[in-house]
Amino acid sequence: MDRALPPLRLLSVFAAVQRHGGLGQAAAELNVSQPAVSQALRQLEDFLGARLLDRRTRPARLTEAGRLLHAATLEGLGRIAEAVAEIGRLDAEAGRSVRIACSVGFATYWLMPRLATFYERHPEVAVHVMTSSQGAPDLAPGIDIAARFGNGAWHDGSVTLLFRERIDPVASPALAGHLRLAPAPLATAPLIHVEVADARWTPWDAYLRAVGLARQGRAKDLRFTNYVQATQAALAGQGVLLGWRSITGDLVAEGRLLPVVDAPLVPDSAYYLVTSRRPRAADDCAALAAWLVEAAENDR
């Protein structure tokens, strides 16, 4: 080969930008900052010695060099993905398994407590849970099912509604009981915030506006970067958490967390199953998907 290839990392960033049509969504998929994506594109252009994007247009359009590289990248990464999937299918022959991708919070508080009933019906099938920090994990090669939070408008697999979300402010029984005595329980309560980049997850300010409630004073709020940590803080009585059905639903049913006010909010986004059109083990994948839907229906 006369010329060295650019690093695969840079090509993956370039492909993500073209797939999403912009830097922001590509950065969210890759779990990096938008400046990091921009820097990677510059590095790729420097490596090639050619401009890939015409930045004089909004949005930036591919140059002729960019179109050539985009076509080659799609073909090359596509063939690599097919090879990885084929390797996964070969691996599956050694034992029956299904791989599901989901967020850490969904896996911890909704999926894992229910998996025992699936194993009772299908003891011969192993379920491998692959977690991500985001609510819409990728249906990458080797992944059979992705449990995603969003609007359901995905085309990389078969999409099935799992359940609608519901948001309720929740707290430990002691704190909830104390706050309920106040005329406006949330007005001065310490709030637990979860700081995530995904705009589909409703923050406190958006919730309060939506239900017509207001804050007063300057309570000492807590801030976390994921819902697992935030939920533990709520269980410890440290503040009021925006409880999502997928995360705190079981804890409320068990009485370990209680609603503070009767002001539920149903967001536009919901949880969906996105099933691969080429699963490694089609029958086992279908069995897990059907069980997930049944488990969600039993929660209603």
CATH number for 50 = 1.10.10.10
114 & 139 share domain: yes
- Name the token pair of 34: 């938008």
* Percent of the chain residues topping a pLDDT of 90: 47
pLDDT band at 88 (very low <50, low <70, confident <90, very high): low
255 & 184 share domain: yes
- Any idea what the Cα angle at residue 251 is, between residues 247 and 253, rounded to 5°? 115
Residue 5 neighbours by CB distance under 10 Å? 10
| Predicted local distance difference test score (pLDDT) of residue 59 | 72
| Predicted local distance difference test score (pLDDT) of residue 91 | 56
| Predicted local distance difference test score (pLDDT) of residue 89 | 59
| Predicted local distance difference test score (pLDDT) of residue 139 | 85
Q: Are 191 and 260 in contact (CB under 8 A)?
A: no
Q: Are 246 and 105 in contact (CB under 8 A)?
A: yes
Burial code of 93-123, b = ≥16 C-beta within 10 A, e = fewer? eeeebbbbbbbbbbbbbbbeeebeebeeebe
Q: Name the domain count of the chain.
A: 3
278 & 292 share domain: yes
Mean pLDDT over 58-66 rounds to 81
51 & 15 share domain: yes
Domain span at residue 208 reads 167-259
pLDDT band at 299 (very low <50, low <70, confident <90, very high): confident
CB-side exposure of 212: number of CA atoms within 13 Å?
A: 2
For residue 272, pLDDT beyond 80: yes
Smallest CA-to-CA distance from 160 within 268, 266, 275 is with: 275
| Predicted local distance difference test score (pLDDT) of residue 71 | 83
| Predicted local distance difference test score (pLDDT) of residue 1 | 41
Report the Cα–Cα distance between both ends of the chain, in Å, rounded: 60
CA–CA dist 118, 100 (Å, integer): 14
The verdict on pTM exceeding 0.75 is no
CA–CA dist 129, 147 (Å, integer): 11
Smallest CA-to-CA distance from 10 within 44, 53, 52, 36 is with: 44
CA–CA dist 57, 77 (Å, integer): 27
For residue 192, pLDDT beyond 90: yes
pLDDT band at 85 (very low <50, low <70, confident <90, very high): low
For residue 52, pLDDT beyond 70: yes
- In Å, how far from its chain's centre is CA 9? 22
At residue 252, the 3 state secondary structure works out as helix
| Predicted local distance difference test score (pLDDT) of residue 206 | 92
Cis peptide before 203 (omega within 30 of 0): no
CA–CA dist 214, 78 (Å, integer): 51
Residue type, 190: P
At residue 169, the 3 state secondary structure works out as strand
Q: Which of 19-33, 164-178, 187-201 has the lowest mean pLDDT?
A: 19-33
156 & 199 share domain: no
Report CA dihedral (162, 154, 148, 33) to the nearest 10 degrees. -160
Q: Which of 12-26, 186-200, 261-275 has the lowest mean pLDDT?
A: 12-26
Strands in 167-171's sheet, in edge-to-edge order, are 222-224, 191-194, 240-244, 167-171, 258-259
CATH number for 180 = 3.40.190.10
Ranges assigned E (strand) in 60-153: 61-62, 97-103, 126-132, 145-150
| Predicted local distance difference test score (pLDDT) of residue 2 | 45
- In Å, how far from its chain's centre is CA 27? 14
| Predicted local distance difference test score (pLDDT) of residue 178 | 94
255 & 174 share domain: yes
210 & 69 share domain: no
| Predicted local distance difference test score (pLDDT) of residue 260 | 96
CA–CA dist 44, 121 (Å, integer): 50
